[in-house]
């Protein structure tokens, strides 16, 4: 693969990447790929005709090709200069998301301006016009007015609107590229086209479903890619996707917790285990709100299992002691009931009020006494925390401590592979994650 972006076939050495330039680059690069990869060209046309309910027309076009058969493709074509003698006109919208094509014929023609389409293909008496957008703009009205330049009578037997998003384009490119690799065929056009798309919008690149990913530590990046794709596909206005490089998950609007994080853990046999975690009481403020909830739930206990789509998953429950400085995370220790002395309690409203929050350096012995009184003698919390490196032997004059729950749904990789089986059906994985989210939001209800 060509790794040097300056040697990419579709990227000039230097260019101002304005919206117009990007769109022009996209349609030019796409057409060049079609012209230099006839398998891609054929499959693209086949799919477009199929979506337009014109499969028979497609078959007839190539059933009896003669010397007078003619095909042309061009970009930035003024349709006002074209004849209107086409038996079939397929109008294709190509945007960053799926568009509602059913409103296509609800718009009116506009004869007061020239209409320039991004890509114009003709095969004998069939015309295909493509309007491309680099973002999620709705171009259906613009597309209709372009088609109306060639045929203004809204004849649905002639004009066939089709939506074909960039994600579907890249799924097609990915399939063709994969097929060619089976026969050791390297296509510089397709490879560089993929790199061009990644530079503009990596979300258009299809991510393999988890079912096709082998359960080894080498595939963690691919797994996290697919999980991120699923997170971004969740439709819930009350939550958002975490915007951090070091973790993936959801931001939630609960006072007692603010994140659900998906951790990809490598087991001793180098296999991937997924843990969907939430941390109630992760800060002093969150802890206060958690205990307000618990005041109304006298016998509340963390759940030991969760049911999603009629299947049970184990929940691991632990306690997190988080140490911070200047509102920034420094380190933490995670313990279980096995680390707590008999008849002692780590999480309580009393301990939250008296022992969490800010500790000045002169009061660090108070912290040591508190933890030593609760934790079993065999557990050296300072060693586990690396106390000397992070606090004792530093210039830090204070720390803040929060104590809360660490609650994690354990999902075997085998199980989640059964959920996520198709590239274009990421909503199955999204719904699974959304189900875990819904259960977590009801923890204290």
User: How do residues 165-183 score in pLDDT, each as one tens digit?
Assistant: 998 999 999 899 989 988 9
Last residue of a domain, one of 117, 144, 168: 168
Lowest mean pLDDT, pick from 137-141, 296-300, 314-318: 296-300
Lowest mean pLDDT, pick from 10-19, 280-289, 317-326: 10-19
Domain contains 173: no
Q: What does the pLDDT read at residue 8?
A: 57
- pLDDT-based confidence at residue 4 (cuts at 50, 70, 90): very low
Residues 345 and 272 in one domain: yes
Average pLDDT over residues 274-279: 98
Domain contains 44: yes
Q: Which of 186-200, 223-237, 377-391 has the highest mean pLDDT?
A: 377-391
Residues 155 and 216 in one domain: no
Residue 416 has pLDDT above 70, yes or no: yes
Domain contains 38: yes
Residue 13 has pLDDT above 50, yes or no: no
Residues 162 and 268 in one domain: no
Residues 129 and 224 in one domain: no
Residues 304 and 399 in one domain: yes
Give percent of the chain above pLDDT 70: 96
Residues 270 and 404 in one domain: yes
Residues 301 and 390 in one domain: yes
Domain contains 382: yes
Q: What does the pLDDT read at residue 16?
A: 52
Domain contains 197: no
Domain contains 15: yes
Q: What does the pLDDT read at residue 1?
A: 39
Domain contains 189: no
Last residue of a domain, one of 148, 168, 188: 168
Average pLDDT over residues 190-204: 84
Choose between 303 and 23: higher pLDDT: 303
Quote the CA–CA distance of 369 and 203 in Å, as a whole number. 51
- pLDDT-based confidence at residue 7 (cuts at 50, 70, 90): very low
pLDDT, mean over the chain: 91
Inter-helix orientation angle 220-232/427-441, to 10°:
70
pLDDT one-digit tens code per residue, 37-71: 999 999 999 999 999 999 999 999 988 888 777 89
Residues 238 and 328 in one domain: yes
Residues 370 and 239 in one domain: yes
Number of domains within the chain: 2
Last residue of a domain, one of 113, 139, 168: 168
Residues 240 and 97 in one domain: no
Domain contains 187: no
Average pLDDT over residues 237-242: 85
Residue 3 has pLDDT above 70, yes or no: no
Residues 273 and 363 in one domain: yes
Residues 229 and 148 in one domain: no
Domain of residue 251 covers 210-441
- pLDDT-based confidence at residue 5 (cuts at 50, 70, 90): very low
Residue 400 has pLDDT above 90, yes or no: yes
Burial class (CB in 10 A: 0-12, 13-18, 19+), 308: buried
């Amino acid at each position: 693969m060509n790794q040097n972006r300056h040697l990419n076939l579709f990227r000039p050495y230097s260019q101002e990447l304005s919206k117009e330039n990007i769109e022009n680059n996209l349609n030019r690069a796409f057409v060049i790929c079609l012209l230099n990869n006839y398998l891609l060209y054929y499959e693209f046309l086949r799919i477009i005709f199929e979506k337009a309910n014109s499969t028979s027309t497609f078959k007839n076009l190539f059933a009896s090709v003669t010397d007078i058969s003619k095909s042309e493709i061009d970009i930035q074509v003024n349709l006002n200069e074209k004849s209107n003698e086409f038996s079939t006109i397929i109008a294709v919208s190509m945007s960053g998301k799926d568009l509602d094509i059913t409103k296509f014929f609800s718009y009116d023609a506009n004869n007061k301006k020239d209409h320039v389409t991004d890509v114009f293909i003709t095969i004998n008496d069939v015309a295909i016009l493509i309007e491309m957008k680099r973002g999620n703009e709705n171009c259906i009205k613009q597309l209709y007015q372009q088609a109306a330049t060639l045929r203004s009578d809204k004849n649905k037997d002639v004009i066939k609107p089709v939506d074909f998003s960039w994600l579907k384009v890249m799924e097609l490119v990915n399939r063709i590229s994969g097929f060619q690799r089976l026969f050791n065929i390297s296509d510089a056009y397709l490879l560089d086209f993929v790199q061009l798309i990644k530079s503009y919008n990596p979300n258009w690149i299809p991510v393999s479903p988890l079912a096709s990913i082998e359960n080894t530590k080498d595939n963690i990046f691919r797994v996290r890619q697919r999980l991120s794709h699923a997170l971004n596909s969740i439709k819930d206005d009350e939550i958002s996707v975490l915007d951090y490089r070091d973790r993936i998950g959801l931001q939630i609007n609960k006072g007692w917790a603010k994140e659900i994080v998906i951790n990809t853990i490598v087991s001793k046999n180098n296999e991937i285990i997924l843990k969907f975690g939430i941390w109630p009481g992760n800060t002093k403020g969150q802890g206060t709100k958690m205990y307000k909830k618990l005041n109304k739930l006298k016998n509340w206990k963390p759940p030991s299992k969760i049911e999603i789509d009629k299947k049970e998953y184990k929940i691991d429950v632990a306690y997190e002691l988080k140490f911070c400085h200047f509102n920034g995370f420094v380190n933490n220790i995670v313990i279980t009931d096995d680390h707590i002395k008999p008849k002692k309690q780590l999480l309580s409203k009393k301990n939250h009020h008296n022992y969490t929050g800010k500790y000045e350096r002169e009061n660090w012995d108070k912290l040591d006494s508190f933890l030593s009184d609760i934790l079993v003698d065999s557990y050296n919390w300072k060693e586990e925390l690396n106390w000397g490196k992070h606090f004792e032997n530093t210039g830090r004059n204070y720390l803040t401590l929060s104590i809360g729950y660490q609650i994690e749904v354990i999902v075997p990789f085998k199980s989640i592979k059964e959920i996520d089986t198709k590239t274009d059906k990421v909503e199955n994985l999204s719904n699974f994650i959304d189900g875990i989210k819904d259960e977590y939001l009801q923890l204290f209800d």
